Structure 1
Amino acid sequence: MKYYSIQVDATPDSSHMEQTTFILRYVLETTTQEQNITSLVLDQLKVWELPLHNCRGQCYDNGANMAGKDNGVQAQILELYKYALFTPCAAHSLYLVRANAAECCPTVTTFFGTVQKLYTFMSVSPQCWEILLKCIPCSLHGQSHTRWSERIDAVRPVAAHLPGILLAIGSVSKLNLSPEAKVTVDGLHDYFNSFPAVIMSAIWIKVLLAIDRRNKVLQARKATIDVEVKNLDSLTDDLS
């Protein structure tokens, strides 16, 4: 070890005792990240006195350092013992499928981008937000690149209350807006009054709800492989 960084944080616990955490982060010059993680796994198995030759499976996310075909942790452990078969995390695999699906074509990226733009524009102004809440019975929500459940919350009001959203945009356009805001409002109205917006909202609310239901099953503590397979098969049937 040559270069390192430190991180210190202190906070009182539930008994009002000050607890200080000291973290030392470093990179070994002689080994790769994959080798470090593999060594960590093997060393911990030794501490627990669990022989590797009794291992029958590995499960990680789809990151290259863990699932890499040639140099990932799964490959290095599989090289040591061929029966430690690797199975990628089903929930993470499903996440990658829907993330790539949402970026598959300009029409889809435009839809999600405009939904986010609508939320951003309405939420920065209390006056605009008040107008919106008078036109639809629910709030708009922003999107997250990591929490896909938030995309459902973002698309649901658009799919369910598109006429009300158009009414709100029309009311906002009558306010004393800056030239830039006026251009944004006109663009939002033109898009959400278009056929692609109607089609995209109808399609994606169905897709996102179907995926979210299966994702909750996949992440359940008692989920088994056969349950996961059945849920993924039913998801394919629902979306076909």
Structure 2
Amino acid sequence: MKGKTKGVQAQLLTINPRALFVPCGEHTLNLVVANVAESSPDASGYFGNLQKLFTVFSATIQRWTVLKNRVDMSLKSLSETRWESCIRAIKAVRYQTMQVRKTLLDLRNQVTEPVTSTESQSRAEEVGSYRFLICTVLWYDILCQLQVSKLLQSTTMQLDVAMSLLKNTKAFLVRYRDSRFVSAQTSAKDICEEMKSRLC
């Protein structure tokens, strides 16, 4: 549609040469985050594991009911285009890791199908791993900052306010890279140690 030779942009420019194409700021921000996630093997692996975790529980009503009885926040499926919605997918794992892992271990012992039992065991090991937990903490912190993309969609958003919001988001990410990464590592380590002491 935005093609400058035959698309809507070209047709609008024939009517009004000053009708310049301006890409949607919210969509552009989503594309940036998508490219970052795709460029990192750890990030793409993490989101793949998160989706598999959702799939294990959503495969049957019984499994979903068991999960809902133990976890206050529901797991969500991932969206490839709207990265701020991934916050909901990560939130349950971020704040109720132990309950999710315990449910997977119980599911492993309750099911009769070997494939489901193996998958539950595999997901439980993944959720309990330091690598998964550090990704959970990091991506939750980062995606919470990207809720600015919702504000960019507002019909009353002004350009100077949008620029200020984006500058603040960039400043947060720079600070996070420089100093807060250590606190994310500590949080992931604390979750690991708590799980080992309670579940082992």
TM-score, length-scaled by structure 2: 0.77
Deviates more, 1:139-148 or 1:200-209: 139-148
How far the C-alpha of 1:211 sits from its partner, in A, is 0.5
Read off the aligned partner of 1:220 and give its amino acid letter: S
How far the C-alpha of 1:140 sits from its partner, in A, is 1.2
Residues 1:189 and 2:124 aligned together:
yes
Residues 1:176 and 2:96 aligned together:
no
Is the Cα–Cα contact under 8 Å of residues 30 and 82 in structure 2 kept in the other structure? Answer: no
How far the C-alpha of 1:176 sits from its partner, in A, is 2.9
1:43 corresponds to: none
Alignment of 1:81-160 (within 5 A): 83-160=18-95
Cα distance between partner residues in 1 of 2:115 and 2:164: 50
Structure with the larger strand share: 1
Cα distance between partner residues in 2 of 1:71 and 1:136: 52
How far the C-alpha of 1:78 sits from its partner, in A, is 5.9
Read off the aligned partner of 1:87 and give its amino acid letter: V
How far the C-alpha of 1:239 sits from its partner, in A, is 1.3
2:154 corresponds to: 220
Cα distance between partner residues in 1 of 2:98 and 2:35: 29
Work out which structure has the larger RCO, using CA pairs closer than 8 Å and 6 or more positions apart in sequence: 2
TM-score, length-scaled by structure 1: 0.65
Which protein is bigger by CA-based radius of gyration? Answer: 1
**Gaps spanning 5+ residues in structure 1: where?**
1-64
| Percent of residue pairs bearing the same amino acid type | 30
The CA RMSD over aligned residues, in Å, is: 2.2
Q: Could you say if the C-alpha distance between residues 218 and 120 of structure 1 is closer, same or farther in structure 2, counting changes exceeding 3 Å?
A: same
Cα distance between partner residues in 2 of 1:161 and 1:155: 10
Read off the aligned partner of 2:123 and give its amino acid letter: L
Residues 14-67 of structure 1: CA distance to partner in whole angstroms, max 9, x if unpaired?
Answer: xxxxxxxxxxxxxxxxxxxxxxxxxxxxxxxxxxxxxxxxxxxxxxxxxxx41x
Read off the aligned partner of 2:161 and give its amino acid letter: V
